[in-house]
Amino acid sequence: MLKGAFVENSAKIALITGASKGIGAKIALTLARDGFDIWLNYRSDDKAASEVKTQVEAVGRACSLLKFDVADATQTTKVLQPLIDGGNIPFAVINNAGFRKDNLLVWLTSEEWKSVIDVNLDGFFNVVKAVLPYMLKRRSGRIINIASASAHIGVGGQTNYSAAKAGLVGATRALAAEVAKRNILVNAISPGFIETDILDGLPLQEIIKNIPLGRLGKTEDIAEMASFLCSDKAAYITGQAIQINGGIC
């Protein structure tokens, strides 16, 4: 809860969810390079999270490992609230946690539908709900939601994932309108096909044929955009869904 005598600590903090590997890990390392201390959220991979922590600390920034499932509102609040009560408010929140469970809708199970929605969309709500009141009081902050090309184009077998990511884009635009007067900027990044393990099982050679640049993207392509959106250079950008996809229309 907000407290009248609340005093914020001076360190500039970025909270990145799902940051033990892939895009999230690269964003954590890039923002550490930019001078942010990192709150690195992850759900289960202790070893990978510890490796990212070591790399963040190697560039001289602090890194706190926050192990919780963003889809669980109780876990999320239990971990974040004590940190916030101690005067730590993230300047930037990057909602990166997400996963796929692909299937044609005719065979899609309720569990496959709900679990994808829970992590990709409810996870955004749970994390932002915990931090936003303090951002509003401070009158500054950045929220970046990692969506997907699937939010903008139809990908067969990804009805659940497309619904979750399209919902995230819609939520981005609505929230941006709500908080703009308090100088909180809210944007989404929609990656195309990026070299991470989320592509496992997909026919990559066929996919590459349909990418105008003729290659998969790299995690740094997304991380550098996140870095830009967290910087003063992006002070007049909010409510946008920026597609980084090699030219896929």
Flag whether 184 is in a domain.
Answer: yes
Residue 194, class by beta-carbon neighbours within 10 Å (0-12 exposed, 13-18 middle, 19+ buried)? buried
Query: Within a domain: residue 2?
Result: no
Across 65-85, average pLDDT: 96
Residue 56 lies in a domain: yes
Residue 63 contacts by C-beta under 8 Å, 6 or more apart in sequence?
28, 32, 37, 38, 39, 40, 52, 53, 56, 57
**Would you say residue 8 lies in a domain?**
no
Query: In this structure, what token pair is assigned to residue 86?
Result: 């101690």
CATH of residue 46's domain is 3.40.50.720
Q: Which residues pair with 34 in a beta bridge?
A: none
User: Chain-centre distance of CA 171, in angstroms?
Assistant: 13
Catalytic residue, chosen from 42, 134, 161, 236, is 161
Residue 2: pLDDT above 60?
Answer: no
Number of H helices, E strands in the chain: 8, 7
* CA separation, residue 121 to residues 15, 146, 172, 208, 215 (Å): 17, 11, 11, 28, 29
Does the pLDDT at position 203 exceed 70? yes
Across 223-244, average pLDDT: 97
Interval 125-170: pLDDT, tens:
999 999 999 999 999 999 999 999 989 988 888 999 999 999 999 9
- What's the domain count of the chain? 1
- Tell me how far apart the alpha carbons of residues 41 and 124 are, in angstroms, rounded to a whole number: 13
7: pLDDT confidence band, cut at 50, 70 and 90?
low
Q: What angle do CA 28, 34, 35 make, to 5 degrees?
A: 95
Q: Is 161 part of the annotated catalytic residue set?
A: yes
Residue 5 burial (CB count, 10 A): 4
pLDDT of residue 118: 95
Answer yes or no: are the C-beta atoms of 12 and 91 closer than 8 Å.
Answer: yes
Average pLDDT, the chain: 93
Q: Is 91 within the bounds of a domain?
A: yes
Is residue 133 included in any domain, yes or no?
Answer: yes
Please name the residue that has the structure tokens 């560039």. Answer: 59
**Looking at residue 196, what is its pLDDT?**
87
Residue 66: domain span: 13-243
32 CB-side CA count, 13 A: 24
Q: What value, to the nearest 5°, has the Cα angle with vertex 12 and ends 1 and 87?
A: 30
What's the pLDDT at 5? 47
**What is the Cα–Cα distance from 233 to 52, expressed in whole angstroms?**
27
